[in-house]
Amino acid sequence: MTRRWRTSARCGARYDGEFHHISIAVLSRCSVRELRVERYNSTAKHLVWGGALLGGALFLLAPPAGIRMLAAVGPTGAGAIVSHLRDNTDPADLAGVADRLDESTWGLVVVAVNRGGEDMTRLLTHAERSASVDLPWGDLEEELGRDVTRPVLVAS
């Protein structure tokens, strides 16, 4: 049976004057117990840094999956996303989310802009376990602007 999976573009619409974006990845464990991204989608995919929104989070939670994701979607903005997550998250909270993923055969990673973690986990009614981390948007837009305009060095 083929399953279809997609996110609603309506999540990327303006609501109360703020943008809301949602990036989602379904992860599975391969034969060597490594997490791999099976499917992903994002309402931010049209943004130059849209792939980094999910790829950066995955890089911190499941590094091999995050690296493969960033290789597929491009690294633009990944430095700013990873730095923002690292600088604005309690390492124990981030480790707790990573541990939840590591305990499972399947996982769902959702990165939601301008949505609270409790609001999102409440929607996952069929999940056996869930964990979330709330972050401020803060200076992320400025950080992304610097990251996007930074020249890329290419080894010759």
pLDDT score of 82 more than 70: yes
The SS3 of residue 46 is coil
pLDDT score of 9 more than 50: no
As for how many domains the chain has, the answer is 1
Decide if 150 is inside a domain. no
Q: Record the pTM.
A: 0.75
Decide if 97 is inside a domain. yes
Instruction: Determine what percent of the chain is predicted with pLDDT higher than 70.
Output: 81
Task: Dump pLDDT digits (tens) for 38-71.
Answer: 999 999 888 888 899 999 999 999 999 999 999 9
The pLDDT of residue 18 is 58
Decide if 146 is inside a domain. no
Decide if 35 is inside a domain. no
For residue 78, give its domain range: 47-126
At 151, is the pLDDT very low, low, confident or very high (cuts 50, 70, 90)?
low
Decide if 3 is inside a domain. no
- A 10 A CB-CB count for 104 gives 16
C-alpha to C-alpha distance for 27 and 46, rounded to whole angstroms? 22
DSSP H or E segment with residue 41: strand 35-42
Decide if 70 is inside a domain. yes
